[in-house]
Structure formats: structure tokens, C-alpha cells
Amino acid sequence: LLRPNVLHIQDPASQRLTWNKPPKSVLVIKKIQDVSLLQPFKELCIFLTEQKNMIVYVERKVLEDPAIANDESFVAVKKNFCTFREDFDDLSNRVDFIICLGGDGTLLYASSLFQESVPPVMAFHLGSLGFLTPFNFDTYQSQVTQVIEGNAAIILRSRLKVKVVKESREKSKTKDKNLIITNGDDEPSRKTMQYQVLNEVVVDRGPSSYLSNVDLFLDGHLITTVQGDGVIVSTPTGSTAYAVAAGASMIHPNVPAILITPICPHSLSFRPIVVPAGVELKIMLSREARNNAWVSFDGRKRQEIGHGDSITITTSCFPVPSICFRDPVNDWFESLAQCLHWNVRKKQSHLSSEEEEEF
């Protein structure tokens, strides 16, 4: 007898943070050049070093801020910091978890620092929007203590693995940690770059006045040609960013999917679509394209794409473990309500007895 297939659905709230051994090191990421974050940053670092005996990593340019560099009361604490430089130092095996102070951009920046496994991220809302930053700094001591003790819910935010292959006869002089292949001097070289993207990959027409004209392939098959201002390929996390502004649906981060959203398409029927997380997408400039395209990854590393270049996108094996304030579902709906004012409307009043009689 054939056994019926059974689909096991996991409750998102069942995902919990557990430590194999007590955490000893933490990376603190602070929004650069934001004076309002100086005091919270100092308080947090003193708490972590003096009360929790943690090894604190900070970016070198944070300590170069004059307000921190000239603070004599902070000298003793700064001596115990470990510093790093973006694109130069590997933090993969040094950091147990990450604390972000600022807006959503700090979480995106934290993601960009790790091309493979990402430590759990705890994000405090000290910026403007705060869709991805559920924690309030007023209660940071108790919240951080809970995380250190392993008592916290967690959500795995999927990322996109992006491979950009570019053809060029000029030898690249750029020292980019994402550049992994450069061939030849006599023949056209092929440079391959890889990125891990938390929100979205955006391909647009750049400064050109012409429509973008790019071919979109799914698992090797041409599915459509995008003619318009561009196209957004986003994760479920990124569905509430640029994609929602372009008219896409919002997808909960626990849903395994990739969202494809056109930007101002020159077509009345080009609607955003959701495809399975396991597919491979490929974007190339169409033969009929009048101009090159431009691509960016979470708003960074913007570069030009010409004929013969390709952008391959798959779901990454390395998600971002994001620590929840309550649980993945409640946090998401709270962000929809507080940040995007989802379905906010004055409620319709009930009918009085006299009005009911009229009907």
C-alpha cells in the first residue's frame, strides 16, 4: 500500500535561540554620524564589558568619531574594545552575536559583513522606520540578558545569493572582497562577484532616458522581458521595502519564496509575482536594449551591467538569524501596524435603533 504524503508544518514561534556554550563576544553596530546614538552606544558598551564581561567588537571608524575619541570618561572602556574594518577583516569565527543600534540600515549592514554564516542579530529601534528593529532601548539590560541566557525567539530571514558575471577587456584594479575570478589580459576577461542580499536586488535603467530592457530567465527558461524602469528581486524580508512601494504584496519572512516586482513597467498586465525559493533566476541585458542597466544589492555596490553580463540569483544557504521581541508572527504584524500603518482606518460606527428601523 502506498502511504499518503504528509506535510509537516512548523510553528514559527517554535524557533528558539539556544547556545552550545555561553556567548563571550558581541559585535555592536552603531549608525555612523548620528549624535543621538552616542549615549545609548556608551551605555550599552559599559553594560556589556563591566556587567556581562563580554568582548566587544566595534568598527574602527566608530571610535574615530570625535565625540567618542575625545570622551575621557570612556577611555577605560575603549581600551577593551576589539576593532575591525569592513572589506578587510573576517569576523566569522570571532563574534557570538550582534547588537544593532539605529534603523533598518544597520541590520542590512550587519548582513553585508558576513558572506556565509551570520551570528544572531538583536536590533534596537533607534532610527527612523524600524521595521526590522523590534527592540526598544529603554529595557536593553533585561532584553540583552535574556539573549545571553538563550531565552529568546528567533526568525531565520532568508537571503539571496547573487552571482554577477561581467565581461571586460580591462583588468580590474578594484580591490573588492566579492571579486573572486579575474582572467586573462589578451582575451576578454570574465569577472565573477558574489553577494549575499537580505532585502533586494534592483536592476534599473540608471541615468538613461530609455526604458530598461532586460531578459528574465527562470531555471534556464526565458519567462519574460522587462521593459520599464527596472525590476526588483526581493526576499520575503525585502517585500516590505522597495517592493511594497512598487505595488507588490507583503510576504511574511517565514514563507520560502522570491518576489519579482517590475518598476513602472510599460505594460498594463505586468503584475508582481511570487516564485518558489528553490528556483534559479537569471537577468541579462536584452539584445534589443538601447542602453546598459545598473544593479545594486541592498542599495550598495551599485554597478553597470552591459551586453554579455549576467546576474544569477538563488536563495542563499546562509540566512540571517534575527532575534524577536515576542515571536515572528506578532513582531511582523506589529511592524506592519506601527511602521506602515497597515489597514489603518476610522472604524464605521454601529447603527442606532432609529436608523435600523429605517432599513
Which position among 104, 204, 215, 327 bears the catalytic label? 104
Which residues of 291-344 form beta strands (DSSP E)? 293-297, 300-305, 310-315, 320-323
Cell of 110: 550587519
- Report d(CA 252, CA 244) in Å as an integer: 13
The answer to whether residue 219 is catalytic is no
* Inter-residue contact 61 to 83 (CB < 8 Å): no
What SS3 class is residue 259?
Answer: strand
* Backbone CA torsion sign across 133, 322, 13, 315: positive
The span from the CA of 289 to the CA of 307, in Å, is 9
Residue 60: CB partners within 8 Å, gap ≥ 6?
83, 84, 85
- How many angstroms separate the CA atoms of 42 and 120, rounded? 21
Rounded alpha-carbon distances, angstroms, from residue 116 to 92, 99, 177, 208, 323:
8, 18, 13, 35, 18
Q: Which residues are marked as active site?
A: 104
